[in-house]
Structure formats: C-alpha cells, structure tokens
C-alpha cells in the first residue's frame, strides 16, 4: 500500500514565539531551526521578516545554514513584507489574508473584493521574485466558503503552490473540520494545509481530521506553543499519524522529538507539563504497584508505545503507591542483591515518606538503599561556609566554600535575588569538580508558620544520568544549596561505587 506523505510546517519560531512572555534571540532561533531540520520537518516558518531588524537577523542566520527544510517567512498582503522576506533569502512565504467578515469589515474596514485583490497582487509579486507561496486564509473557519474558494482559486491560477485553511481561534470541532476539508479537497488541486489552534483543546484532533478528509499538510509547534491556548502540538500529531493512520506517513525522525522539545522548553522558558503527552516527564513514568509490575513484565501493558520511539526513557517513580516489584527491579538494575528482609525495610521507608506527602527523590531512594544495605553514602562534597549579601541598594551576592577530597573551592555568584546568587556560586563550584549541571529548580513544599520548613527539589545531570535531589531547611537559601550538594554527592558516590565494582570484577 502506498502511503500518503503528510508534510509538516513547523511554526514554533513564528506562531510559537507569539506565546506571551516568549522572545527568542537570533542564535536561539538558529539552534532550534537546526534541531528541527534534524527532526526532518518539511518546512520551518522562521519568523516574520517585517517585524524587526533582530527578526531579520535571526531568519538570515537560518537561511545561511542551507538546511534541508524549506525556510519560510510569514507575510501579510503587503509588498513591503515580501521585500523584507526577500532580504532574508527565504525559500518561501506564508502569505496570510483575513477571510472572515469579522476581520475584513470590523478589523480592517475593507471589502472582500479589496482583500482578494491585495492577496492576489501580493502573491503575484512574490512569485515573480522566485518565492514559493503558501496562500493562507486567516479565520477561515468563520469565513464565507464561496469567498474562500474564489480567493484560493484565483491564487492557484496565479501560480501559488499551496493553500491553507486556518482555524485561527479554534472555532470548529473535529467533525466540522472533517466536513470542511472534505469539501475543499474536492475542488482544490494543490496541497491543502491545516493550521489549527487549541482554544478548545482539539487542535491536534482537528489537524488529524483535516488529514483524513484530504489535507496533505499541517502546521504545528513544538510543545504546542502559541498564542492563548497554543497551536496544535507537533509531537502529538506526529506520533498519532505513526501509530493510528497507516495510510499516512511523515518524514519525521520521531526519536528526535524529546530532545527538540527540551531545547524549545529551555529557550522559551515555558516549562513542559510533566503530564504532557509524548514529551512530558511523566509520559513514561510509573509509580503504582500494579502498573510497575505490569510494565516490567510486559511494557505494552501500560505503555502505548516504546519511550525510545520518541527519544524518551521509562522512569519508575518511588512513592506511596510503589510496589515491591519496582524495588526488586531497580536493585537488580543496580546489580545489588538484597535479602527479603532488606527489601521489606526499603519498601517500608519509601511508604513512610510517601505517606507524608513527600516526593521520594532519586537521592533519597539511593540513600535508603545505601543505609539498609550498609553502603553508607560518603559526603564527598562538603559545604564549609555560605555567605549571602542582599538588600535594596545591593546586588545580591553569595560566596561558598566547599571541600572536595583534599581541595578547597571558593566561588562567588550574583543573581536577581539571594537564592539565585547562591545557586550561581554553587554551580561554579560544581563546574570545577565535575560536569554535573542543574536542569531544573523548584520549591516543592512549604509548611505554614513564620518558621516554615522549605523543601527545594532540583534536577541534576552528569550527562549519563538525571536525578532529583531535595534540600530541606527553614532558610530557602540553605535548602537550595543543600539540594544541589545532596544531588552532586549522590552522582559522585554512585560513580565511585560503579568504578570500584568494575575494578573488583576485573581483579
């Protein structure tokens, strides 16, 4: 069976950047574009060249890379927009015209005929300058169908290569999108694209409905970024096509999805929800005893696809719902042989932490094992001094003195606040000791009262492992530093144990 290839236009760098609070630098845009190219998206909407000099710089950086993906600029029905796009040496333009009466009459105070003429004239200008043109109808799901057909057909006769129906504010449900695309795919002779927003939580479902009804291209963003509730999420569309629609395929390398998602999270500053489909940290995480038992016996019992398919990994979480099978499996994975009595004790301690409402971090889980099995954690990195200076007229500054082996490390850091300054100083110390890096930081819980106990949880990585670690103290600065050092000690100790066991095996 010949599968129909569905083209993917990624608009993370344009529509995704319109997420409130997101502003990407030219270099950040370039790095994301290179990752998208590695993901093998067909088209990258790199921005809107008319917006600013910085925007044009970012687009130019991308076009100079000679990526395999087609590079587009978003443009309005203005020749000046086309000129700005040409300046950036893009391959194509995403030419958007308003199509609903609401936009044409209320926002622009023009007639349909004027809008149509502007769209076609601008398309002709772009085509005459050698650009590929995708003619896109803004707010098409609230537009008069005959006007859409007439404008699309006029554009096709002029030579535009693709057309797009935009559900700009998510005003249709999947069955309505299916009907609309079924009707238009029968009268449109060029590739028909869908641009769906997630205002009602059906952006991905609408994109899939459009494909089933004859569409051959979808617009999407990494992590579902975008204005208001965001755009259709690329990773969800891609995996759904792969798993459920055997008549269709994409050119994407799915195992690159997680890495691209984390890069976009890092640069955008918009955290991925742990429960986010496909690329959330909990997408392939299991805590409940029944689930962990099932997934260890046969992965497909509680995993619809292999985590490796999207570049993810399975995680067994330890907490109040943990069963003994998960504990036994993790001990086996670590190469440890525990007695039934020891397993019972580990099980008991994890349950006790869980019943207190605590997240059992990786460092705490390992500490429990070490304590029960007599493998006491040696404090390889020891905090000797912590000094913090802060005030209205003073830049928050922190200095730390840390002992590691027979060496003493002293570093200072500044930040937007005392906690940030302290973390900055500790990161400098850690950088001098190993390649361990801080990935995430958050305050996990705060008790009530003026002497509130603060729990800080950090996520650290040494490039091979990612672990969570906790620090608890009445002082959030001390809790933050302790969380960092607990995690560093955990990673260094595990590495030391592993090297020692290898030596014993070889000896």
Q: Would the pLDDT of 504 be above 90?
A: no
Query: Residue 37: which pLDDT band, with cuts at 50, 70 and 90?
Result: very high
Mean pLDDT score of the chain: 88
> Is the CB of residue 58 less than 8 Å from the CB of residue 47?
yes
Confidence of residue 501 (pLDDT cuts 50, 70, 90): low
Please state, in angstroms and as integers, the Cα–Cα distance from residue 378 to each residue in 55, 273, 381, 403, following that order: 51, 35, 9, 13
Residue 480: other Cβ atoms inside 10 A: 23
Q: Using one digit for the tens of pLDDT, what is the confidence trace for 359-401? A: 676 667 677 777 777 655 567 888 999 999 987 778 999 999 9
Tokens linked to 63: 């076009």
What's the pLDDT tens digit per position in 290-332? 555 555 567 677 788 999 999 998 766 666 667 777 777 777 7
Compute the distance between CA of residue 181 and CA of residue 165 in angstroms, rounded to an integer: 8
Q: What are the boundaries of each domain within the chain?
A: 4-268, 286-372, 381-506
| Residue found under tokens 């554009």 | 155
DSSP string for residues in 44-96: EE---TTS-HHHHHHHHHHHTT--SSEEEEEE-S-HHHHHHHHHTT-SEEEEE
pTM: 0.75
Query: Is the distance from CB of 194 to CB of 210 less than 8 angstroms?
Result: yes
Where does the pLDDT of residue 344 fall: very low under 50, low under 70, confident under 90, or very high at 90 and above? confident
- The stretch 274-295 carries a mean pLDDT of 72
pLDDT of residue 445: 65
Whether residue 12 is predicted with pLDDT greater than 90 in this model: the reply is yes
Where residue 289 falls among pLDDT bands split at 50, 70, 90?
A: very low
Pairing type for strands 437-446 and 454-461 reads: antiparallel
- CA–CA distance, 226 with 112 (Å, rounded to integer): 28
Mean pLDDT of 66-72: 98
- Residue 478 near residue 386, CB atoms below 8 Å: yes
Q: Is the dihedral of CA 341, 344, 348, 354 positive or negative?
A: positive
DSSP 100: S
Q: Does domain 381-506 have CATH number 1.20.58.1610?
A: no
* 4-268: CATH superfamily: Aldolase class I (3.20.20.70)
pLDDT value at position 258? 95
Q: Are 221 and 16 in contact (CB under 8 A)?
A: yes
- Starting at the edge strand found earlier in the chain, the sheet holding 381-391 runs 381-391, 394-404, 407-414
Which residue's structure tokens are 């729990």?
Answer: 455
pLDDT digit string, tens, across residues 158-213: 999 999 999 999 999 999 999 999 999 999 999 999 999 999 999 999 999 999 99
Question: pLDDT by residue (tens digit) across 434-479?
Answer: 888 888 888 866 666 656 677 788 888 887 778 888 887 778 898 8
252-263 tens-digit pLDDT? 999 999 999 999
């Amino acid at each position: 069976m010949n599968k129909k290839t569905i083209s993917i236009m990624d608009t993370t760098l344009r529509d995704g950047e319109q997420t409130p609070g997101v502003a990407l630098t030219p270099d950040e845009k370039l790095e994301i574009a290179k990752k998208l190219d590695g993901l093998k998206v067909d088209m990258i909407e790199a921005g809107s060249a008319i917006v600013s000099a910085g925007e044009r710089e970012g687009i130019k950086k991308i076009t100079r890379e000679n990526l395999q993906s087609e590079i587009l600029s978003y443009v309005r029905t203005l020749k000046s927009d086309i000129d700005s796009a040409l300046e950036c040496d893009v391959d194509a333009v995403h030419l958007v015209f308003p199509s609903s009466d609401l936009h044409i009459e209320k926002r622009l105070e023009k007639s349909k005929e004027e809008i149509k003429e502007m769209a076609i004239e601008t398309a002709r200008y772009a085509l005459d300058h050698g650009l590929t043109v995708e003619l896109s109808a803004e707010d098409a799901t609230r537009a008069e169908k005959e006007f859409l057909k007439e404008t699309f057909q006029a554009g096709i006769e002029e030579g535009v290569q693709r057309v797009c129906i935009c559900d700009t504010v998510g005003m249709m449900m999947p069955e309505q999108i299916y009907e609309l695309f079924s009707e238009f795919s029968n009268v449109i002779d060029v590739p028909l694209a869908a641009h769906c927003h997630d205002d009602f939580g059906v952006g991905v479902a609408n994109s899939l409905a459009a494909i089933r009804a004859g569409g051959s291209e979808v617009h999407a963003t990494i992590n579902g970024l975008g204005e208001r509730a965001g755009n259709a999420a690329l990773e969800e569309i891609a995996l759904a096509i792969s798993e459920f629609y055997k008549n269709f395929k994409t050119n994407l390398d799915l195992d690159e999805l997680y890495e691209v998602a984390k890069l976009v999270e890092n640069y955008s500053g918009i955290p991925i929800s742990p429960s986010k489909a496909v690329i959330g940290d909990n997408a392939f995480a299991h805590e409940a005893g029944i689930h962990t038992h099932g997934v260890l016996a046969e992965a497909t019992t509680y995993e619809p696809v292999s985590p490796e398919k999207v570049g993810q990994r399975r995680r067994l979480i330890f907490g109040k719902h943990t069963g003994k099978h998960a504990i036994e499996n993790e001990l086996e994975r670590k190469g440890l042989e525990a007695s039934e009595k020891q397993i019972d004790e580990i099980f008991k301690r994890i349950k006790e932490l869980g019943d207190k409402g605590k997240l059992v971090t990786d460092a705490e889980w390992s500490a429990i094992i070490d304590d029960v099995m007599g493998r006491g954690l040696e404090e390889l990195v020891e905090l000797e001094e912590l000094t913090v200076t802060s005030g209205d007229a003073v830049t928050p500054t922190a200095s730390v003195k840390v002992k590691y082996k027979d060496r003493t490390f002293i570093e200072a850091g500044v930040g937007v606040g005392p906690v940030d300054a302290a973390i900055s100083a500790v990161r400098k110390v850690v950088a001098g000791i190993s390649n361990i890096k801080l990935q995430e930081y958050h305050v996990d819980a705060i008790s009530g009262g003026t002497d509130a106990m603060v729990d800080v949880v950090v996520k650290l990585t040494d490039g091979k492992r990612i672990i969570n670690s906790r620090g608890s103290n009445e002082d959030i600065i001390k809790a933050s530093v302790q969380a960092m050092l607990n995690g560093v000690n955990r990673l260094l100790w595990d590495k030391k144990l592993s090297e020692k066991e290898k030596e014993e095996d070889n000896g």
